[in-house]
Chain A
Amino acid sequence: AQRVTQPEKLLSVFKGAPVELKCNYSYSGSPELFWYVQYSRQRLQLLLRHISRESIKGFTADLNKGETSFHLKKPFAQEEDSAMYYCALSRSYSSASKIIFGSGTRLSIRP
């Protein structure tokens, strides 16, 4: 079964502290992994995708096929990082296909 699991509903860290949002997936094949973010009163938007291997707003995520994980990391949290984060997967190289989302983690950055 295709599934994305985000074990933490809420993660609260202090400004300047490291952040790690966990994501594990179950998929038979080679999926493409994404992180989506939704800031307060804004629409859902793509943060990063694993094939891009880029850092967006200081966030990075590495696909670990052995552990079937795609954790999102940032070394120093900023207050503007507070948002809802969704890990998601789709068929490889086909971002317009069905996207399976996790249930989301709310990240709260304390000043």
Chain B
Amino acid sequence: ETGVTQSPTHLIKTRGQQVTLRCSSQSGHNTVSWYQQALGQGPQFIFQYYREEENGRGNFPPRFSGLQFPNYSSELNVNALELDDSALYLCASSIDEETQYFGPGTRLLVL
């Protein structure tokens, strides 16, 4: 058991809406990364937070934003949802440069 949890497990939204996905890292993990996994594809890096500061970003527009909190939880926010945002969203936590541990993911469907 890695201890990384995500909520909710499933979510349905409509185009144009906003969504917040949550991740709870293992205690002591100061780094969290978020990934988007479309059907049939590998995970794609969205961004990473290290000690509550953004520490790298992939090729995603600004409407994808995040927060990391001192209690090892984090959020992924997506504004102005588009149909192509339908995917599995994964968070992964680690201590500094060590192995990333993945959560079970949140499956988002945009109608």
Binding site for B on A (CB under 8 A): 4, 9, 43-46, 49, 86, 88, 93-104
Q: A45-B101, A46-B99, A103-B42 are in contact. List 11 more A-B contacts (CB 8 A).
A: A44-B90, A44-B102, A45-B2, A46-B100, A86-B42, A88-B42, A95-B97, A98-B56, A101-B44, A102-B42, A104-B41
| Given A94-B97, A96-B96: A43 in contact with B103 (beta carbons within 8 A) | yes
Using C-beta atoms within 8 Å of the partner chain, give the interface range for chain B: 20 to 34
| Given A43-B105, A44-B90: A96 in contact with B97 (beta carbons within 8 A) | yes
In the complex, what residues of A have CB within 8 A of residue B68's CB?
Answer: none
* Closest Cβ neighbor of A6 among chain B residues: B42
Least CB distance, A26 to chain B, in whole angstroms: 15
Number of A-B contacts (CB under 8 A): 60
In the complex, what residues of B have CB within 8 A of residue A93's CB?
Answer: 97
In the complex, what residues of B have CB within 8 A of residue A46's CB?
Answer: 99-100
Binding site for A on B (CB under 8 A): 2, 4, 31, 33, 35, 40-45, 48, 50, 56, 58, 90, 94, 96-105
| Given A44-B90, A95-B94: A100 in contact with B100 (beta carbons within 8 A) | no
In the complex the two chains form, what is the Cα distance from A93 to B35 in whole Å? 20
**Pairwise interchain contact A96-B42, C-beta atoms closer than 8 A:** no
**Pairwise interchain contact A43-B33, C-beta atoms closer than 8 A:** no
Least CB distance, A103 to chain B, in whole angstroms: 5
In the complex the two chains form, what is the Cα distance from A27 to B29 in whole Å? 28
**Pairwise interchain contact A103-B44, C-beta atoms closer than 8 A:** no
In the complex the two chains form, what is the Cα distance from A93 to B96 in whole Å? 11
In the complex the two chains form, what is the Cα distance from A46 to B100 in whole Å? 8
In the complex, what residues of A have CB within 8 A of residue B41's CB?
Answer: 103-104
